Structure 1
């Protein structure tokens, strides 16, 4: 499979519209190689799909073929489907899992139209789910993917069966200066790769980050080779949070540098019926640190939902 077959007509070189793009062909090729290597570490997808949205084409992968309302994974900032390497085996045990590469992030999806605000973010996800044939889905997102799942719950609850938020960024508490420093530092042109890997290790609680770690190599390439055009994610208002009507599981990382975990948990508990936990030993890289525990907790969470009735995953 060539990069051009996997990626959906990527933007290479600065486009006229305010959208994300790979800065040159060699840089795209470098990212594409890291992406393909990362995908090779995952269980083989049952299906690879391209769907049309108003904001650009979205690449989706279906893993497994089991019953129940499907689970859809939403990746973190500058990340994509390969970041779920540790999580897929456990999550696949009981249901079909989809992963979609986010519009505006480095991955196999391609942004064509600017994203103006939170409603646009929720809209492309809803359109992608519809294009996959999913009437409703459980959403599980980490970091900015958790923020995105929350936005879908706020703006497009009709397509959501539940949301599981893993240390969601700028959702329940302000970003810390440490996270702002990482965000700004990661996109500085010409930054040495050693520094980019140090930033990744810092946000991941000191975990190893270098070319030997597929996810680290991919995210570092995204930092270096892709220029995003995402608007600053707006933190939900209190009225928006208390208005969420879908089931919510929020797991906050006690060692996160993104926000104050206890403050975030207190705000998350204002969502009616939300299940909220702080895992004290987790960092912001919680999905890679505790994949089995997350899979088990997610299974317990949805087992108590009345509508998870074993129907076809593409109902």
Structure 2
């Protein structure tokens, strides 16, 4: 694995007063950094790592692979980062396009937030600026959970660079969060939460796995929940008119066993998209990208191959 450079992070409670995400203390950062390095060692070696300046902070991006297809950009979920895609990268890299994995701004990882982000338009702005800094005029974006919400926000507010959106069980995008998800979200980030209980909450959202800490992705998300304070307001649920206004092809994959939302209601609302392809994966949990990496890679490939103008040369 290439040497991964970790930036000087935001640390301490004073950043929360400025609505900027930060590690709780230096020890918290060191714990997270150790897991992050371990997790990155399980990934294919990136061809490039970049740190891109935006109006809202610096964004860490890793490029995996090459090809003449329109690039695919990966946006992780809440309290997670690039290693979330450990099982997905090998399959996605075989699609004949470069794959860019992003550490979300304001989330635990190697991106460093410098200004508050209070609206979907703010979130869309930093992603658009990041893509400009990478020199990517047109991309496909694949997001899981809140990463799917982010992808839809960019398609709504800054659609010019988007060739398509792939949303994996996107949180608070096509249906409201359930009470179960609110319990997980609130309970898992409480200071002093016993590690065993935090792992059980993570297992609940991930289809009932016995111990999330057995997986490097679970340990990374658990560390993010424990050691990093996210300072975003609750994401806004897009209105029906906004969803119908989306002018790019969207593949929405809804997990049938998700606790994030009612899968049937989410799928029904997603089917109001002008250019939407909607599927319910009946046996999948919210962690569907980790549960079905091969199936997902093949579904992504066939969807992207059908998007007009996918090849750049």
Indicate whether the TM-score tops 0.5: yes
Q: Is the 8 A contact 1:8 1:57 kept in 2?
A: no
2:264 — aligned with what?
262
Report the alpha carbon displacement of residue 2 of structure 1 after superposing the two structures with TM.
11
In the alignment, the residues of structure 2 paired with residue 277 and residue 147 of structure 1 have an alpha-carbon distance, to the nearest angstrom, of 17
Q: Is the 8 A contact 1:141 1:148 kept in 2?
A: yes
The one of 250, 253, 265 equivalent to 1:251 is 253
Report the alpha carbon displacement of residue 210 of structure 1 after superposing the two structures with TM.
3.9
CA-based RMSD of the aligned residues comes to 1.4
In the alignment, the residues of structure 1 paired with residue 131 and residue 211 of structure 2 have an alpha-carbon distance, to the nearest angstrom, of 32
1:86 — aligned with what?
87
Report the alpha carbon displacement of residue 207 of structure 1 after superposing the two structures with TM.
2.0
Report the alpha carbon displacement of residue 208 of structure 1 after superposing the two structures with TM.
4.1
Return 5+ residue gaps in structure 2 as ranges.
none
Q: Is the 8 A contact 2:2 2:45 kept in 1?
A: no
Write the deviation string for residues 279-308 of structure 1: whole angstroms up to 9, x where unpaired: 100000000001111111111111111111
After TM superposition, the score normalised by the length of structure 2 is 0.96
After TM superposition, the score normalised by the length of structure 1 is 0.96
In the alignment, the residues of structure 2 paired with residue 273 and residue 151 of structure 1 have an alpha-carbon distance, to the nearest angstrom, of 16
Equivalent pairs counted in the alignment come to 310
In the alignment, the residues of structure 2 paired with residue 160 and residue 80 of structure 1 have an alpha-carbon distance, to the nearest angstrom, of 21
2:13 — aligned with what?
14
Write the deviation string for residues 98-132 of structure 1: whole angstroms up to 9, x where unpaired: 00111111111011100111100111111111111
1:173 — aligned with what?
175
For structure 1, which segment, 122-131 or 42-51, has the greater mean C-alpha deviation from structure 2 after superposition? 122-131
In the alignment, the residues of structure 1 paired with residue 43 and residue 73 of structure 2 have an alpha-carbon distance, to the nearest angstrom, of 16
1:38 — aligned with what?
39
Write the deviation string for residues 41-84 of structure 1: whole angstroms up to 9, x where unpaired: 00000000000011100000000112210000000010000000
Give secondary structure in 2 for the equivalent of 1:258.
coil
Write the deviation string for residues 3-58 of structure 1: whole angstroms up to 9, x where unpaired: 9x623321011234210000111110000000000000000000000000111000
Return 5+ residue gaps in structure 1 as ranges.
none
In the alignment, the residues of structure 2 paired with residue 188 and residue 129 of structure 1 have an alpha-carbon distance, to the nearest angstrom, of 34
For structure 1, which segment, 172-181 or 205-214, has the greater mean C-alpha deviation from structure 2 after superposition? 205-214
Write the deviation string for residues 182-235 of structure 1: whole angstroms up to 9, x where unpaired: 000011100011011001100000124343311011100001101110111101
2:233 — aligned with what?
231
Where does 1:195-214 land on structure 2 (aligned, <5 Å)?
Answer: 195-214=197-216
Where does 1:94-243 land on structure 2 (aligned, <5 Å)?
Answer: 94=95, 95-243=97-245
Q: Is the 8 A contact 1:71 1:137 kept in 2?
A: yes
